[in-house]
Homo-oligomer: A and B are copies of this chain.
Amino acid sequence: MSKADPIEVIEFLSRFLTERRKTLINDVLQQRTRYLTVVLEDIFRAQNASAVLRTCECQGIQDVHIIENNHLYEVNPDVVKGAAKWLTLIKYPQCDIDNTPICFSDLRSNGYQIVGADPKGDLSMEKLAIDKPIALVFGTEFHGLSDSAKNGVDHLVAIPMYGFTESYNLSVSAAICLESITSRLRQSSIDWALSKNEINELKLEWYKGQVRDADNLILRHFDKT
Spell out A's residues near B (CB within 8 Å). 24, 28, 31-32, 47, 50-51, 54-55, 57-60, 79, 81-83, 86, 159, 161-169, 171-172, 175-176, 179
Contact = CB atoms under 8 A, between A and B. Distances in A.
A171 B59 CA distance: 16
A162 B183 CA distance: 11
A172 B54 contact: yes
Contact of A171 (B32, B51, B83): B51
Given A169-B54, A169-B55, A162 B86 contact: no
B169 A79 contact: yes
Given A175-B172, A176-B176, A163 B47 contact: no
Nearest to A60: B162
Say how many copies of this protein the assembly contains.
Answer: 2
24 contacts: A28-B163, A31-B162, A31-B163, A32-B162, A47-B47, A50-B169, A51-B171, A51-B172, A57-B165, A59-B161, A59-B162, A59-B163, A60-B163, A83-B163, A83-B165, A86-B164, A86-B165, A171-B172, A172-B175, A175-B175, A175-B176, A176-B176, A176-B179, A179-B179
B60 A172 contact: no
A167 to B, nearest CB: 8
A81 to B, nearest CB: 6
A162 B28 contact: yes
B83 A164 contact: yes
A168 B54 contact: yes
Contacts of A55: 168-169, 172
A81 B161 CA distance: 15
B168 A169 contact: no
Contacts of A165: 54, 57-58, 81-83, 86
